[in-house]
Structure 1
Amino acid sequence: MLVQVRGRGARWWITFGVTTFGALFLVVGLILAGVSISFLADAERAPGTVVALEWRSDHSGVSRKNRASDKPAAYPVVEFTSTDGTPRTFRSSTGSNPPAYEEGERVEVLYRADSPEDARINGFASLWLLPLIFGGIGLVIAGIGTAIAWATRRRS
């Protein structure tokens, strides 16, 4: 598909739009990283055990024929005891296939003392995957927009 853009104004708006879109993704990635850092700073630590793997297919309204993969993902269900002595159970919000954890595996749990139901496994994916995805995509797209702007500016 060949798209012909006429006029300097249209090229400027396209470059501006691509760069802005990338910058927006980069900012979202940085915000998510800040949320993870804030969570780590306030988090209590407790030993936990993976008691089950919950297999789910997240289709979110997408039709089956448009899905590249219908493989379900395993979400670990973890049990731990908070500092007040209450046994707690949570399902990780990060699932994978193949499973990242096995039933019976010991893990370190991070949670806030004021809201122990907001718990996470102390692992790379649960803390840093979303910030890296958003930040990485944003960096690439903003970089492409900036490179196009520089190339267009040098030509004129």
Structure 2
Amino acid sequence: MPGIASLSHRTSEGDVVRFQVRGRGGRRWITFVVIAFGALFLAIGLILAGVSASFLADAKRARGTVVSLEWRKDDDASRRTQADDKPAAYPVVEFTSADGAPRKFEDSTGSNPPSYEVGERVEVLYDAGSPEDARINGFISLWLLPLIFGGIGLVIAGIGTGVAVATRGRS
């Protein structure tokens, strides 16, 4: 039926809630929400990229060694399916900070198959003020989250903008 926009949402209890908005105003509202949602994700991605860039600018560098791999499964059962029920390997790295103290940390990014091997030498970036805030100097460790959030936001906002431009030309 022309002029009616419908949305459906399944609640956590399994019930389906349907929303129906009539007319051009309804379509514009839905388009605005889609663009705003995409812009929010894009903003989060840009903020995370800024945090990574700021960390890189101020970080001290040290040589470290992967001393073990911590294997663990994702505890979030709602996101997990049987296909991705495999554990991920999180590298545990030892390094010596500028104050001469030995440090050990577990990287925040795990993978299967493992990205690093036990005994592998890696470059460590750490905050001089709190050396326990350390990361492996790698693309995934520094840029994965900004790329995911920014990319999803860009795609969603782009689709919303494309729909808005296409429907505006018809009205």
Task: Mark yes or no: TM-score above 0.5.
Answer: yes
Q: Unaligned 5+ residue runs, structure 2?
A: 6-21
Aligned residue in 2 for 1:52: 68
Counterpart Cα distance in 2 of 1:145 and 1:91: 39
Counterpart Cα distance in 2 of 1:68 and 1:147: 34
- Map Cα deviations across residues 108-153 of structure 1 (whole Å, 9 max, x no partner): 0000100100000000000000000000000000000000000010
Kindly indicate whether residue 11 of structure 2 is the aligned counterpart of residue 20 of structure 1.
Answer: no
Q: Which amino acid aligns with 1:14?
A: I
Structure with the larger RCO, 1 or 2 (CA within 8 Å, 6+ apart): 1
Which residue, out of 136, 140, 147, partners 1:121? 136
User: TM-score, normalised to structure 1's length?
Assistant: 0.94
Within a 5 Å distance, the mapping from 1:80-119 to structure 2 comes to 80-119=95-134
Partner of 1:93, secondary structure, is: coil
Which residue, out of 162, 168, 171, partners 1:147? 162
Q: Which amino acid aligns with 2:27?
A: R
Kindly indicate whether residue 145 of structure 2 is the aligned counterpart of residue 136 of structure 1.
Answer: no
Counterpart Cα distance in 1 of 2:76 and 2:126: 28
Counterpart Cα distance in 1 of 2:98 and 2:84: 41
Q: Which has the larger radius of gyration?
A: 2
Counterpart Cα distance in 2 of 1:68 and 1:134: 24
- 1:61 Cα deviation (Å)? 4.3
User: TM-score, normalised to structure 2's length?
Assistant: 0.86
Counterpart Cα distance in 2 of 1:138 and 1:68: 26
Counterpart Cα distance in 2 of 1:78 and 1:149: 49
- 1:69 Cα deviation (Å)? 1.2
| Structure with greater strand percent | 2
Aligned residue in 2 for 1:74: 89
| Structure with greater helix percent | 1
Q: For this pair of structures, how many residues does the alignment match?
A: 152
- 1:62 Cα deviation (Å)? 2.4
Q: Unaligned 5+ residue runs, structure 1?
A: none
